[in-house]
Structure 1
Amino acid sequence: MKVLLAVEGERVAAHFGHAPSFLIAEIEDGRVKHRELVPNPGHRPGFLPAYFSQMGITHVIAGGMGPRAQELFQAHGITTILGVQGSVEEVLRAFCDNRLVPGPSLCDHGQEGTHGSCGGRCGGHSS
């Protein structure tokens, strides 16, 4: 499987679409076989789910993501795991060990155009 982590520095990014980069990790038999850090190709509505689907990504891990982006990833057969915080290495290890605990999205855009818990820090509403 191919897992994509939204990365900001050495930590999981709070908002998927605005992460400066992404770590693609190929996991086989509970171990990371290959990893590649790629820059964010740009935050345009609907682009990232299709782009990463073409790369064979099966799971996305991030602190948060808007509801429309979650729907678009699901439509491309990609599982989103949100509410994740911590260092990239700790999170990746927890995922491989089947002990990663997701939580509520850290960027809940709320209803009727509000930004909910992200307080507007996340920018747009879809990835």
Structure 2
Amino acid sequence: MKIAVACIGEEISMHFGHSEVFKVFEGTKDSFQETKTIHSPGHGKGSLPQLLIKEKVGVLITGGLGEGAVQKLEAGGIEVVRGAEGAPADAVNEYLLGNLQSRGEACKGHHDHSHDHGSGEHGCHGQGGCR
């Protein structure tokens, strides 16, 4: 199974649409490795879900994302795990062990990108991400 982790630098991105790269891991709970890095084409409407669907990813781990992205990913057969943070490999390990569950809600108002993403602890890009 391919597991993609939305990242900014070496950390899990708190917002899927602002990810710089997606680190792709493959393996089992006993042994897994990073197999690929996919560079984000940008925050275009529907482009990121389609990219991951095309890559045949089975699971996406991210901090937060909008409901539209969740729907597109799930329609493409991708399980979405939101509310993660920290190092990508640690999150993949916890997921494979059955310890990482999706938490929180999708970010509101991301369907048309006309809202203010905000900042600080209550905005999409604060410490809490979209949870």
Shorter-chain TM-score bucket reads: 0.7 to 0.9
Give the corresponding residue for 1:67.
Answer: 67
Identify unmatched segments of 5+ residues in structure 1: 123-127
Give the corresponding residue for 1:38.
Answer: 38
Give the corresponding residue for 1:119.
Answer: 123
Aligned residues: 121
Q: Is the 8 A contact 1:109 1:118 kept in 2?
A: no
**Separation (CA, whole Å) in 2 of partners of 1:19 and 1:120:** 13
Superposed displacement of residue 109, structure 1: 2.1
Q: Quote the RMSD (CA, aligned, Å).
A: 2.7
Superposed displacement of residue 46, structure 1: 1.2
Judged with a 3 Å threshold, the aligned counterparts in structure 2 of structure 1 residues 3 and 114 are, in CA distance, closer, same or farther, namely same
Q: TM-score, normalised by structure 1?
A: 0.79
Judged with a 3 Å threshold, the aligned counterparts in structure 2 of structure 1 residues 100 and 58 are, in CA distance, closer, same or farther, namely same
Identity, % of aligned positions: 26
Judged with a 3 Å threshold, the aligned counterparts in structure 2 of structure 1 residues 26 and 65 are, in CA distance, closer, same or farther, namely same
Q: TM-score, normalised by structure 2?
A: 0.77
Residues 31-110 of structure 1 aligned to structure 2 (within 5 Å)? 31-105=31-105, 108-109=107-108
SS in 1 for 2:91: helix
